[in-house]
Chain A
Amino acid sequence: AQSVTQLDSQVPVFEEAPVELRCNYSSSVSVYLFWYVQYPNQGLQLLLKYLSGSTLVKGINGFEAEFNKSQTSFHLRKPSVHISDTAEYFCAVSEKTGANNLFFGTGTRLTVIP
C-alpha cells in the first residue's frame, strides 16, 4: 500500500506571503498525485493533479505543485496567500495500475494571518 506523509500538520502564514505545503509519498510504481482543499464544514475539492508530462502542475486559486520523482515529493506552493486560502489541504496518491484507491496524507491546516 502507498504511504503519504504531510510533514507539517499546521502552517501559519501572513497574508500575501508565499507558502509551501510539503508532501512525500512512498512508492515503487508509477503514480497519480493530487492535492485537495477542504474549507470548514465542506467536502474535499480537487485543487490540482499530476497524471503525466510536465512536472509543474498549475491548479485553481493560484496554487501550483511540482512533482519530483527522485525525491518522491509533490509539494504545493502559492506565491502570495489570501485570507480565503485558510483551509485544510490534503495530498493524495493513487497507483496508475491496479486498484483505484486514493491514499491520503493526514492533512495540513493552513492558517492565513491578516
Chain B
Amino acid sequence: DVKVTQSSRYLVKRTGEKVFLECVQDMDHENMFWYRQDPGLGLRLIYFSYDVKMKEKGDIPEGYSVSREKKERFSLILESASTNQTSMYLCASHGRLGEQYFGPGTRLTVT
C-alpha cells in the first residue's frame, strides 16, 4: 500500500512565525501536491511538484512556498504565518493511473 505521512497532525503557531509542514511518500512517485481544505470550499491546490527541485504554483500559492530536495519529501513553508492560514493542510502523492494518495492531514491553527 502507498503510504503518505505528514509530520504533524495538529499544530498551533503564532502570527508571524515561520511554519514547516513536511510530507513523505514511500512509493517513488514523481508528482506530489499540497492542498488546503476549508469548510464549503473543498480542496484548493497550493503547489505541486513533478520532480526533485521542480515546483508549480497551484490556485492559491500566495503566502506559501515549497521545497522538494528529495523525491520522497515535499515540504510546505509558511514564511510568516497569518490567521487566514488557519486550515487543514493535505499532502498527496500521484499514482501512475491518475489517482492521488493522501496523508492524514495537518490541522494548523494560527493565533
Interface residues of A (CB under 8 A from B): 9, 32, 34, 36, 41-46, 49, 51, 90, 92, 94, 96, 100-102, 104-107
- Complex partner residue of B43 from A42, A46, A49, A90, CB under 8 angstroms: A90
Docked CA distance A100–B29 (Å): 12
- Complex partner residue of B99 from A46, A90, A104, CB under 8 angstroms: A46
Interface residues of B (CB under 8 A from A): 4, 9, 31, 33, 40-43, 45, 48, 50, 58, 90, 92, 94, 97-105, 107
B33 partner residues in chain A, CB cutoff 8 A: 101-102
Docked CA distance A42–B4 (Å): 12
Docked CA distance A49–B100 (Å): 11
Docked CA distance A7–B9 (Å): 30
A49 partner residues in chain B, CB cutoff 8 A: 97-99
> By DSSP majority rule, is chain B's interface helix, strand, loop, or mixed?
strand
| Contact across chains for B98 and A43 when beta carbons are under 8 A apart | no
Docked CA distance A18–B33 (Å): 34
Of all A-B residue pairs in the complex, the 5 with the closest CB atoms, nearest first, are A106-B42, A43-B102, A32-B98, A44-B102, A104-B43
Docked CA distance A107–B94 (Å): 20
B94 partner residues in chain A, CB cutoff 8 A: 100
B101 partner residues in chain A, CB cutoff 8 A: 46
Q: B40: nearest residue on chain A (CB-CB)? A: A106
| Contact across chains for A100 and B42 when beta carbons are under 8 A apart | no
| Contact across chains for A104 and B42 when beta carbons are under 8 A apart | yes
Docked CA distance A34–B95 (Å): 13
A106 partner residues in chain B, CB cutoff 8 A: 40-42
8 further A-B contacts with Cβ under 8 Å, apart from A43-B103, A49-B98, A96-B98, are A43-B90, A43-B104, A43-B105, A46-B101, A92-B100, A104-B42, A106-B41, A107-B42
Docked CA distance A85–B98 (Å): 25
B42 partner residues in chain A, CB cutoff 8 A: 90, 104-107
